[in-house]
Amino acid sequence: MMDSPTNATYMTVRCIAMLVHTDIRLSAAITALPDIEIYNIANDYEIDMALLTNLETPLKLAFVGGDQARTFAKGYGGVWIEDGPNVEADLLRFWSR
């Protein structure tokens, strides 16, 4: 028997921001949002450890910073958000919040 729309299961999405060699501090309004994860990372190992905490939930992965963040975004299938004054607005737009 097929599930009816009332029996549908909806999965949450992990919204992740990887801050790569940046001094940017995200506001409490951003970090307090449900299902938001913020990591300050410097290398592939730290990215892998953050992503391995939950492999079942789909994610929206953003790398914030300069050239290294752009490289990580390409390698991990995320988006690159350039470090600057619009980071929070760009993250919220990407995460559809």
Number of neighbours of residue 61 by Cβ within 10 angstroms: 21
Q: Give me the pLDDT at residue 9, please.
A: 57
pTM assigned to the model: 0.86
Q: Give me the pLDDT at residue 35, please.
A: 86
Q: Give me the pLDDT at residue 5, please.
A: 52
Whether 63 and 81 have beta carbons less than 8 Å apart is answered as yes
What is the rounded CA–CA span in Å between residue 15 and residue 35? 6
Question: According to DSSP H, which parts of 5-86 are helical?
Answer: 28-31, 44-51, 67-76
| Segment holding 16, helix H or strand E | strand 14-20
Q: What is the pLDDT along the chain (97 residues), one digit of tens a residue?
A: 444 455 555 668 999 999 999 988 899 989 999 889 999 999 999 999 999 999 999 999 999 999 999 999 999 999 999 999 999 999 999 999 8
